[in-house]
Amino acid sequence: MQHASTAPVPRPRPRWWTELPLLALVYAAYSAGRLVARGDVSTAVDHGLSILRLEKALHINAEHPLNRLFTAHPSIGIPSDFAYASLHYLVTPAVLIWLFRRRQEVYRRARTWLMTSTMFGLIGFTLLPTCPPRLLEAQYGFVDTMAQYSSYGWWGTEASAPRGMGGMTNQYAAMPSLHVGWALWCGILLWRHSKNPYIRAAGIAYPLITTFVVMGTANHYLLDAVAGAAVMGVGALLARPVMRLADRIGDRVQARFPRFAPVAKSPIVSAGCKTSAGERIPGQRTTSADSPDAAASADAGASAGRVPRADPGAPAGAGAAGDDAPAAAR
């Protein structure tokens, strides 16, 4: 009697032609949201000064010594500017592609974690527009290293945007620092899922270096970096609930439009095929020696007293009849 399987049907494997538009849509929404959430400049400056005063009260304003170091030494400041302007555009997609190709079992949750955290960061930009240290008045002791070393790179004097495109970015989206948040996401995944010790070490170094870079270039406060890490923590906690919600929505859409539902592969090996005579499993015939006709011929020969011919390929010392055969037949 056959029993119905109660195992849940596995979700179809993510495909690049569905993942790429999804990620592009989320990033486009994030970029557009940053432009919309510009906020009032005076309010952003007040928020930045409040953060700076709090850090000074707690004696954690590490931005000042780092910024002086980057300003005084171009050998440190210029590579840091390049790192700030480019690495988050390169490393984050590279880790996503690596997970998609090599770690499919964790890819979907990691992708959901990244997108959820990014949307929470956008909420932070909207509710708390913050002036970065580099845009404060000179009396507060910060130097914009991106502007100082702009002749060495593609950026101008307006953040890390290419020259002439500064108006397409929100320079007051400093809280939280998603540079640090995305770097932390990359570092955790590289540490947990890579077997190469060098890559795992890079997973530790990358978020730490990014934190020093965003402060030394006067683009973020230390508390911005802390907030970026906190946002990623919230995204990690909400990744599974968001995935379950997305699954329920997908199931309802498929029930309403069944023709667009993906076809899941059958978990049964035979996939509903039946075996026929002479087959152990579908598509695999038994050998002639194991077939029913061969067995019937052997039984008929034994009853007639004929001794079966020895197999030329049989091992040496093997008789025509087995050791358990009756003495009359030996």
pLDDT tens digits, 76-107: 999 999 999 999 989 999 999 999 988 888 99
Q: Say yes or no to pLDDT of 3 above 50.
A: no
Calpha distance 174→196 (Å, rounded): 34
Q: Say yes or no to pLDDT of 59 above 60.
A: yes
Q: How confident is the model at residue 30 (pLDDT cuts 50, 70, 90)?
A: low
β-pair type (284-285, 279-281): antiparallel
Q: Say yes or no to pLDDT of 66 above 80.
A: yes
Work out the average pLDDT over 257-268: 57
What are 72's two structure tokens? 């005084």
Rounded to a whole number of angstroms, the CA Rg of the chain reads 34
For residues 205 and 15, which has the higher predicted lDDT (pLDDT)?
205
Q: How confident is the model at residue 144 (pLDDT cuts 50, 70, 90)?
A: very high
Calpha distance 112→11 (Å, rounded): 15
Calpha distance 301→296 (Å, rounded): 9
Residue in 110, 132, 130 with CA at minimum distance from that of residue 194? 110
Work out the average pLDDT over 156-161: 64
Work out the average pLDDT over 238-262: 80
Please state, as a whole number, how many other Cβ atoms lie within 10 Å of the Cβ of residue 277: 8
- Cβ atoms of 114 and 231 within 8 Å: the answer is no
For residues 270 and 127, which has the higher predicted lDDT (pLDDT)?
127
- Cβ atoms of 246 and 113 within 8 Å: the answer is no
Q: At what angle do helices 16-36 and 74-102 cross, to 10 degrees?
A: 140
Work out the average pLDDT over 176-180: 94
* Run of H or E residues at 50: helix 41-58
Calpha distance 268→20 (Å, rounded): 32
Given this model, what pLDDT does residue 172 score? Answer: 87
Q: Which amino acid is at 173?
A: A
Given this model, what pLDDT does residue 40 score? Answer: 74
Given this model, what pLDDT does residue 120 score? Answer: 92
Given this model, what pLDDT does residue 188 score? Answer: 97
pTM score, whole prediction: 0.71
Q: Say yes or no to pLDDT of 166 above 90.
A: no
Given this model, what pLDDT does residue 255 score? Answer: 80
Please state, as a whole number, how many other Cβ atoms lie within 10 Å of the Cβ of residue 139: 6
Distances (CA, A) of 36 to 1, 9, 231, 297, 317: 64, 42, 20, 87, 90
Q: Say yes or no to pLDDT of 290 above 90.
A: no
Calpha distance 49→140 (Å, rounded): 9
- Cβ atoms of 42 and 170 within 8 Å: the answer is no
Q: Say yes or no to pLDDT of 19 above 80.
A: no
Work out the average pLDDT over 127-133: 91
Q: How confident is the model at residue 328 (pLDDT cuts 50, 70, 90)?
A: very low
On average, the pLDDT of the chain sits at: 78
Q: How confident is the model at residue 325 (pLDDT cuts 50, 70, 90)?
A: very low
* Distinct helix (H) and strand (E) counts, the chain: 10, 2
Sign of CA dihedral 162, 167, 172, 178: negative
pLDDT in tens, 193-245: 999 999 999 999 999 999 999 999 999 999 999 999 999 999 999 999 998 99
DSSP conformation class of 73: -
Complete DSSP assignment for 81-107: HHHHHHHHHHHHHHHHHHHHHH-HHHH
Buried b (16+ CB within 10 A) or exposed e, 280-295: eeeeeeeeeeeeeeee
Calpha distance 124→39 (Å, rounded): 12
Please state the separation of Cα 100 from the chain's center in Å: 7
pLDDT in tens, 296-324: 444 544 444 444 454 444 444 444 444 44
Q: Say yes or no to pLDDT of 253 above 70.
A: yes
Given this model, what pLDDT does residue 105 score? Answer: 87
- Cβ atoms of 55 and 123 within 8 Å: the answer is no
